[in-house]
Amino acid sequence: MIDGLKCFITVVELGSLSKAAVQLEMAVSSVSRRIDGLEQELGARLLLRSSRQVIVTDAGERFLPRARNILAELADGKSAVQELDSEPRGLLTVTAPAAFGRLHVAPAIAAFLQQHPLIEVDLHVSDEVVDLSARRVDVAVRAGVLPASDLVATHLAGMNRVVSASPAYLARHGWPTSPEDLLNHQCLTVNGRVPPRGWWRFEGVNGNQPLPVKGKLRCDDTDSLLHAAICGAGIVHLANWLASDAIVSGQLVPVFPMLPVERGPHALRRDPGEPAIHAVHMPGRSNQAKAQLLIRHLKAYFGSPAYWDLAMEIAGAGQRRAP
């Protein structure tokens, strides 16, 4: 049946029995017999064949994508079995959000490549949410809330937001003592797109809706807001993984006490509606064994709790001063 599938797909793609025979290095009669056997096994005519042309029947059109999937699944299985007894090799295509990709995914992949020297990675960092099937992506790292889909998702790290400002800004303008005090400060906000989930939102404050903060600077890039806050332009509300380095170095100071770092079994039981860092991949896809190998590496590299949360926990207590 496998030979019949290959012959059927090749004939459809090339539109000719003779061209398919050349590509498959078979006699035309052999190609025809393989397709005859496949049609008999299925109980349906897939192709109308003559000396001049090949026409795909309605049954053939419906069967074609399934035939391709069968061969792809077989190739995946063969690859997975072979990789059990050999060093993983080949190309992986990976996407990640721009800022998170630069800060955390690229260093993790560099370590991954040192461990697996026969693997190559094409890393694309962009805030565009790509279609894994259309773009032939093996692994996509995504930050935020995952929508429902058929993709297989692996939780990599938690995600929360930290209110912070530079020591210079706080020295000039004073230290907010509650979230409501932010309404009287210069707050750096997102402009030109839907604000990130949780942006200026605090439990039990303003009916759990975002505070209507204002400021002289608005930007559509959170990485730019980070650097503006470091320069003293105002207070910013950024993801933990983005603010961590600046907080650890003392360039930014957490304005309010940070959330405790989750440890132990409770850290694994999360609300699927909460923002987090995930890796997603398509089931039954070529390179699945290598994709899962990379995902396991990312999870171990980030750690539990994530290394950026641990670093802020260590540095935050010493840097934050009472207002």
pLDDT tens-place string over residues 176-235? 999 999 999 999 998 866 667 778 998 889 988 889 999 999 998 889 999 999 999 999
Statement: residue 41 has pLDDT above 50:
yes
End-to-end CA distance of the chain: 75
Taking residues 147-156, what's their average pLDDT?
Answer: 83
CA torsion, ordered 92, 98, 100, 105, to nearest 10 deg = 20
- What confidence category does residue 94 fall into, taking pLDDT thresholds of 50, 70 and 90? very high
- What confidence category does residue 73 fall into, taking pLDDT thresholds of 50, 70 and 90? confident
Statement: residue 269 has pLDDT above 50:
no
pLDDT mean across residues, the chain: 85
Statement: residue 247 has pLDDT above 80:
yes
Q: How many angstroms separate the Cα of 312 from the Cα of each of 195, 246, 286, 296?
A: 24, 9, 39, 24
d(Cα 36, Cα 42) in Å, to the nearest integer? 10
Strands 218-219, 189-190: pairing is: parallel
- What confidence category does residue 129 fall into, taking pLDDT thresholds of 50, 70 and 90? confident
Determine the pLDDT at residue 265: 45
Determine the pLDDT at residue 268: 44
Statement: residue 68 has pLDDT above 90:
no
Contact at 8 Å (CB) between 39 and 46? Answer: yes
- What confidence category does residue 259 fall into, taking pLDDT thresholds of 50, 70 and 90? low
pTM over 0.75: no
Taking residues 89-105, what's their average pLDDT?
Answer: 93
Statement: residue 261 has pLDDT above 80:
no
- Of residues 198 and 236, which shows the higher confidence score? 236
